[in-house]
């Protein structure tokens, strides 16, 4: 799941300050799941902005709300066409992808980000999200018993651990488990410690240069194959 | 033929003594020059740390060049935290060209423990990959596969953590470092000779040289601080209590006593191949330690 | 018992139809089973509150006249008996499956382990198991869940708007809006003393369990001019599990937002009405005083500005 955190209200207020009519746009998929930008959070931000406006006594904003199923595909934004005719800005509570797709779809309206998109992760319990995947493009979970050394080791090293692990926790964040101790224990359990004994050469960071593109369709020559 | 003076010493079988100095946080190197002059003739080599604990400082290579200038034997420390493979290979070429022949290969403390917490951590490589990279350069190519015009040669080492509370993964890492080409190891601070003995039982199957890291503590407060904040350091409660028992103002004296005690035992029982003394700001007392441990005057 | 009442009501309406010469065609449809077998883990979490037998006249008194043997309950017992109501028929349902993102919040927050994922990975809330506490309704990030007879939720919003209107017309200051559990208020007799002791304009929005108060309700109260807001539940006496913890979660969230708006977080407070003694009233009085102080400060600041 893409996990994000709502921006602080002061920052949102500063961003919308120049725009009288603002549409608060929610997303019904990842942002709903992580509780940062679904329909309920859109209402919450709306309510909070109205309290702020009432308190400051000189507010001039009017707000409207709308939540689409996803903001990352243009087709989902079609219903908005009528709604934005009269709008000065969209505050999108979608992830960074959603904000950009909305901006592409409505290039004449400023689209402002209402959340800080943070990582790809999962929740073991309500309200606690942990990063799990770095989208590195070179997945090596087979070598490490299903535990990612890039996200769960703070240094992201491939020949771990470093000397900073104490009580199975990481030197940088004492609440976090040392990823390499977890990997050791998992491989031991699977009887595959020989995988940890291998030398792993430096990572191929070429999978990272931005913006990445993945083309899954075949390149078919339109003019006919043979001739 | 040895790649450096220190490598000759490694191969000589003598009890080795190295120490380290931390460069200044600024361009004023006068104190560091004094420390170099104080120590250069008393030890087999002097390490210059590389942004230790992720605190920005004058670079290790700069300190090593100063040591060379003043007639000492430097060990260049390189961490993987701040530079990518291009920058590190370039630095190695410069170091070799100026006669710096020893490199200690480290992964590096994480950015979060330092004083630039918002900096971008690089970690393009880790310590094992760095060791391997140097050996590759020595064979005449860089790790992009391109031929080098003038290949460097180094005596390379790494660190190891015999007092780690969960030793098995550390031993796997140690094996990898030996296989990657490390010739010597300077350990994290040793306080418990039992763990050193146990580690040496394992390590003696390899022909690498192990230098026990000896940290000179100055007070119980310093010991507790290091325990909580410095990665890789575990000071046992017994030592903290011993430091706490010292009279006011005599903490450093106590710390020296403890250090000398450890060094003497290591030397007498031949527990390992030498010691690496880390005075953490109190470099001026290193000669006193050497004197008290009867290691002075043997290392010019 | 419930089914008996239901069939009784049906019989009565059929008899009425017959007597009035109406003969509606009634199909024998299967009525949805609204109360069914509960899972063991659900049963474990349900508070076991025994029935309180009403006091009865002693035999000597009974022999004297034809007064009913059973005496009436007093306030406290009556309210506590009412608390035992299962409120079956107003359980939660996922009304908008298309909005549901299957985030599993309802599964994870339900103290009774009622919602589950079916074989196709769709979240389901079986109506015959639901204990109608309302927690998942408020926590659902997609607003996809409602209570079937949503009197409570609509009730809160309507009550709030009504009170805001009345409060605007009244001159009592400072304006404090209180979301209070009806069971707690009436059962412990706190209501009367709150009204008596109120130093400012305390306006009460009565709710059937504070677990139904949403952050949106609290924000609305502040938007419409409340100087202070408190939520008063029954604490341990609450017939539902975990409700106080959820009130605290929501209070913390709104407090954080208040601070970002430049309002003092202490303007929002959560109280426990279950202790049927002076304590809750004292706490409320202190709160009212504190809000009064903040109100006076803001008045002075306003006057200084102008």
Query: Does an interface of 3+ CB pairs under 8 Å exist between B and A?
Result: yes
Residue C88, pLDDT above cutoff 80: no
Q: Which residues of C touch A45 (CB under 8 A)?
A: none
What pLDDT sits at residue A223?
57
Task: Give the number of C-alpha atoms closer than 13 A to the C-alpha of residue C52, restricted to the C-beta side.
Answer: 16
Residue C89, pLDDT above cutoff 70: no
Distances (CA, A) of C107 to A27, B293, C59, C127, C139: 21, 67, 53, 14, 11
Instruction: Return the SS3 of C93.
Output: strand
Query: Does an interface of 3+ CB pairs under 8 Å exist between C and A?
Result: yes
* Chains near C (3 or more Cβ pairs under 8 Å): A
Higher per-residue pLDDT: B208 or C187: B208
Structure tokens that stand for B287 in this block = 């000669």
Q: Which residues of B touch A184 (CB under 8 A)?
A: 168-169, 172
What pLDDT sits at residue C108?
94
Q: What angle do CA A129, A134, A135 make, to 5 degrees?
A: 120
Residue B88, pLDDT above cutoff 70: yes
Distances (CA, A) of C123 to A181, C115, C133, C285: 36, 7, 18, 45
Q: Do A41 and C141 touch (CB under 8 A)?
A: yes
The residues of chain A that CATH labels 3.40.50.2300 are 2-118
Per the prediction, chain C carries an average pLDDT of: 81
Structure tokens that stand for C176 in this block = 């404090």
Q: Which residues of B touch A168 (CB under 8 A)?
A: 166
Q: Do C262 and A51 touch (CB under 8 A)?
A: no
Q: Do A51 and C141 touch (CB under 8 A)?
A: no
Chain A interface disruption, residue of B231, B234, B235, most A CBs within 10 A: B231
What pLDDT sits at residue B171?
97
Of B80, B129, B188, nearest to A163 by CB-CB distance is B188
Domains of chain C, each with CATH number or no CATH: 151-305 (3.40.50)
Percent of the residues in chain C that have a pLDDT greater than 70, as a whole number: 83
Helix (H) or strand (E) holding C59: helix C59-62
**What number is the average pLDDT over the span B113-135?**
96
From A92's Cα to the closest Cα of chain B, the distance in A is: 27
Q: Which of the four pLDDT bands, split at 50, 70 and 90, describes residue C274?
A: low
Rg (CA), chain C: 23
The reply to whether C186 touches chain A by the CB within 8 Å rule is no
Q: Do C263 and A51 touch (CB under 8 A)?
A: yes
Find the closest chain C residue to A52 by CA distance: C261
Q: Do A199 and B107 touch (CB under 8 A)?
A: no
What pLDDT sits at residue C186?
63
Which of A93-102, B291-300, C171-180 shows the lowest mean pLDDT across its residues? B291-300
What pLDDT sits at residue C5?
87
Contacts of residue C87, defined as CB under 8 A and 6 or more positions apart, other chains included, come to C132
Contacts of residue A6, defined as CB under 8 A and 6 or more positions apart, other chains included, come to A36, A37, A41, A45, A93, A114, A115, A116
What pLDDT sits at residue A55?
87
What is the bridge-based pairing of β-strands B45-48 and A115-125? unpaired
Of A33, A35, A47, nearest to C223 by CB-CB distance is A47
The reply to whether A51 touches chain C by the CB within 8 Å rule is yes
Residue with tokens 């509780």: A35
Rounded CA-CA distance C75/B93 in Å is: 90
Q: Which residues of C touch A9 (CB under 8 A)?
A: 257, 260-261
Q: Which residues of A touch C260 (CB under 8 A)?
A: 8-10, 48
What pLDDT sits at residue C197?
47
Residue B265, pLDDT above cutoff 70: yes
Q: Do A202 and B121 touch (CB under 8 A)?
A: no
- Size (chain B), residues: 300
pLDDT beneath 50: ranges in chain A? 224-225, 227
What pLDDT sits at residue C189?
62
- CATH number at B5-292: 3.20.20.220
Rounded CA-CA distance A48/C216 in Å is: 8
Q: Do B176 and A166 touch (CB under 8 A)?
A: no
Classify A2-118 by CATH class.
alpha beta
What pLDDT sits at residue C80?
76
Task: Give the number of C-alpha atoms closer than 13 A to the C-alpha of residue B44, restricted to the C-beta side.
Answer: 23
**What number is the average pLDDT over the span C121-142?**
90
Which segments within chain A are labelled E, that is strand?
2-6, 21-27, 62-68, 89-92, 111-113, 115-125, 128-133
The reply to whether A44 touches chain C by the CB within 8 Å rule is yes
Q: Rounded to 5 degrees, what are φ and ψ at B143?
A: -85, 10
A/C interface, count of CB pairs below 8 Å: 75
What is the bridge-based pairing of β-strands A2-6 and A21-27? unpaired
Q: Give the tens place of pLDDT for each residue, C198-247.
A: 445 788 888 888 898 999 999 999 998 888 999 988 877 788 888 889 99
Residue B300, pLDDT above cutoff 50: no
Rounded CA-CA distance C76/C63 in Å is: 29
Instruction: Return the SS3 of C148.
Output: coil
Rounded CA-CA distance B63/A180 in Å is: 33
Q: What pTM, to 2 d.p., does this model score?
A: 0.86
Structure tokens that stand for C263 in this block = 């309002």
Chain C interface disruption, residue of A16, A126, A127, A129, most C CBs within 10 A: A126
The reply to whether A182 touches chain B by the CB within 8 Å rule is no
Higher per-residue pLDDT: C9 or C186: C9
**What number is the average pLDDT over the span B51-58?**
96
What pLDDT sits at residue C151?
56
The reply to whether C121 touches chain A by the CB within 8 Å rule is no
Residue pair B212/B265 in contact (Cβ under 8 Å)? The answer is no
Of A47, A51, A126, nearest to C105 by CB-CB distance is A126
Of A9, A32, A44, nearest to C216 by CB-CB distance is A44
Contacts of residue C17, defined as CB under 8 A and 6 or more positions apart, other chains included, come to C23, C24
Rounded CA-CA distance C167/C157 in Å is: 15
Q: Which residues of A touch C143 (CB under 8 A)?
A: 38-40, 43
Angle between helices C190-197 and C278-305 (to 10 degrees): 30
What pLDDT sits at residue A51?
94
DSSP B79-92: ESSS--HHHHHHHH
Alpha helices in chain B (DSSP H): 5-12, 30-39, 60-69, 85-97, 127-138, 167-180, 193-203, 220-229, 237-244, 251-268, 286-292
Chain A interface disruption, residue of C102, C103, C256, most A CBs within 10 A: C103
Find the closest chain A residue to B160 by CA distance: A163
Find the closest chain A residue to C258 by CA distance: A48
Residue pair A48/A117 in contact (Cβ under 8 Å)? The answer is no
From B10's Cα to the closest Cα of chain A, the distance in A is: 24
Distances (CA, A) of A115 to A6, A38, A68, C249: 4, 11, 16, 20
Residue C182, pLDDT above cutoff 90: no
Find the closest chain C residue to A51 by CA distance: C223
Residue with tokens 């040496």: B200
Which of B116-130, B272-286, C71-85 shows the lowest mean pLDDT across its residues? C71-85
Q: Give the tens place of pLDDT for each residue, C24-58.
A: 776 666 666 656 678 888 888 887 777 878 888 88
Residue C261, pLDDT above cutoff 70: yes
Rounded CA-CA distance B233/B187 in Å is: 11
Structure tokens that stand for B215 in this block = 């940290």
Residue pair B135/B148 in contact (Cβ under 8 Å)? The answer is no
Q: Do B161 and A193 touch (CB under 8 A)?
A: no
Higher per-residue pLDDT: C287 or B86: B86
Q: Kindly list the domain boundaries of chain B, sorted by start residue.
A: 5-292
Q: Which of the four pLDDT bands, split at 50, 70 and 90, describes residue B258?
A: very high
The reply to whether A205 touches chain B by the CB within 8 Å rule is yes
Instruction: Return the SS3 of A7.
Output: coil
Percent of the residues in chain B that have a pLDDT greater than 90, as a whole number: 90
* Chains near A (3 or more Cβ pairs under 8 Å): B, C
Of A172, A184, A199, nearest to B180 by CB-CB distance is A199
- Residues A152, A157, A159, A164: is their CA dihedral positive or negative? negative
The reply to whether B166 touches chain A by the CB within 8 Å rule is yes
Chain A interface disruption, residue of B115, B119, B129, most A CBs within 10 A: B129
């Amino acid at each position: 799941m893409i996990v994000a955190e709502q921006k602080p209200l002061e920052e949102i207020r500063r961003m919308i300050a120049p725009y009288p009519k603002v549409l608060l746009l929610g997303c019904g998929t990842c942002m709903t799941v992580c509780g940062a930008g679904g329909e309920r959070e859109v209402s919450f931000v709306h309510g909070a902005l109205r309290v702020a406006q009432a308190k400051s006594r000189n507010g001039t904003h009017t707000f409207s709300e709308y939540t689409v199923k996803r903001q990352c595909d243009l087709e989902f934004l079609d219903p908005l066409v009528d709604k934005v005719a009269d709008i000065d800005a969209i505050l999108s509570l979608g992830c960074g992808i959603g904000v950009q797709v909305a901006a592409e779809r409505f290039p004449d309206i400023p689209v402002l980000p209402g959340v800080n998109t943070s990582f790809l992760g999962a929740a073991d319990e309500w309200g606690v999200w942990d990063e799990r995947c770095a989208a590195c493009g070179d997945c090596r979970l087979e070598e490490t018993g299903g535990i990612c050394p890039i996200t769960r080791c703070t240094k992201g090293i491939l020949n771990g651990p470093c000397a900073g692990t104490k009580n199975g926790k990481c030197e940088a964040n004492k609440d976090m488990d040392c990823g390499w101790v977890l990997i050791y224990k998992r491989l031991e359990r699977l009887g595959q410690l020989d995988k940890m004994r291998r030398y792993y050469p430096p990572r191929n960071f070429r999978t990272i240069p931005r913006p990445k593109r993945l083309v899954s369709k075949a390149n078919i020559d339109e003019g006919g194959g043979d001739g | 033929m040895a790649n450096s003076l220190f490598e000759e010493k490694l191969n000589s079988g003598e009890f080795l003594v190295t120490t380290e100095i931390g460069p200044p946080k600024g361009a004023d190197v006068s104190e560091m020059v004094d420390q170099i002059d104080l120590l250069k003739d008393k030890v087999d080599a002097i390490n210059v740390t590389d942004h230790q604990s992720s605190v920005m400082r004058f670079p290790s290579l700069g300190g090593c060049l100063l040591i060379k200038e003043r007639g000492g034997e430097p060990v260049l420390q390189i961490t993987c935290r701040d530079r990518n493979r291009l920058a590190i290979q370039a630095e190695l070429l410069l170091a070799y060209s100026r006669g710096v022949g020893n490199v200690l290969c480290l992964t590096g403390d994480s950015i979060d423990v330092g004083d630039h917490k918002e900096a971008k951590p690089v970690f393009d490589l880790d310590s094992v990959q760095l060791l391997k990279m140097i050996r590759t350069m020595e064979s005449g190519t860089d790790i992009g596969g391109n031929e080098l015009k003038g290949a460097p040669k180094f005596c390379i080492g790494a660190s190891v953590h015999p007092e780690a509370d969960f030793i098995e993964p550390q031993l796997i890492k140690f094996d990898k470092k030996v296989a990657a080409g490390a010739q010597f190891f300077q350990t994290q601070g040793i306080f418990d000779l039992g763990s050193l003995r146990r580690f040496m039982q394992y390590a003696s199957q390899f022909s690498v040289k192990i230098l026990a890291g000896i940290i000179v503590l100055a007070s119980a407060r310093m010991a507790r601080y290091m325990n909580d904040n410095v990665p890789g350091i575990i000071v046992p409660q017994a030592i903290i209590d011993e430091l706490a028992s010292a009279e006011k103002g005599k903490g450093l004296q106590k710390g020296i006593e403890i250090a000398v005690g450890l060094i003497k035992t290591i030397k007498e029982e031949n527990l390992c191949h030498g010691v690496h003394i880390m005075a953490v700001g109190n470099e001026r007392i290193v000669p006193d330690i050497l004197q008290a441990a009867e290691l002075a005057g043997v290392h010019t | 018992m419930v089914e008996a009442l239901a069939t009784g009501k049906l019989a009565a309406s059929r008899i009425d139809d017959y007597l009035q010469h109406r003969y509606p065609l009634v199909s024998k449809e299967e009525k949805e089973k609204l109360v069914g077998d509960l899972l063991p883990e659900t049963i474990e979490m349900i508070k076991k509150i025994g029935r309180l037998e009403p006091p009865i006249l002693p035999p000597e008194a009974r022999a004297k006249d034809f007064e009913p043997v059973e005496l009436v309950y007093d306030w406290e017992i009556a309210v506590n008996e009412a608390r035992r109501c299962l409120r079956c028929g107003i359980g939660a349902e996922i009304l908008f499956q298309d909005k549901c993102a299957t985030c599993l919040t309802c599964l994870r927050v339900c103290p009774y382990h009622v919602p589950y994922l079916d074989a196709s990975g769709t979240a389901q809330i079986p109506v015959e198991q639901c204990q109608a506490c309302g927690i998942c309704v408020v926590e659902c990030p997609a607003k996809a869940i409602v209570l079937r007879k949503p009197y409570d939720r609509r009730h809160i919003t309507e009550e709030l708007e009504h009170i805001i209107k009345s409060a605007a017309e009244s001159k009592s200051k400072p304006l404090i809006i209180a979301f209070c559990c009806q069971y707690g208020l009436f059962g412990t007799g706190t209501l009367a003393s709150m009204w008596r002791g109120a130093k400012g304009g305390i306006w009460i929005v009565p709710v059937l369990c504070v677990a139904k108060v949403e952050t949106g309700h609290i924000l609305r109260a502040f938007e419409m001019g409340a100087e202070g807001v408190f939520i008063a539940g029954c604490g341990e006496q609450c017939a539902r599990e975990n409700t106080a913890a959820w009130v605290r979660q929501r209070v913390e969230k709104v407090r954080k937002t208040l601070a970002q708006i430049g309002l003092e977080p202490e303007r929002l407070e959560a109280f426990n009405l279950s202790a049927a003694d002076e304590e809750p009233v004292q706490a409320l009085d202190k709160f009212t005083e504190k809000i009064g102080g903040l109100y006076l400060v803001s008045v002075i600041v306003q006057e200084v500005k102008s």
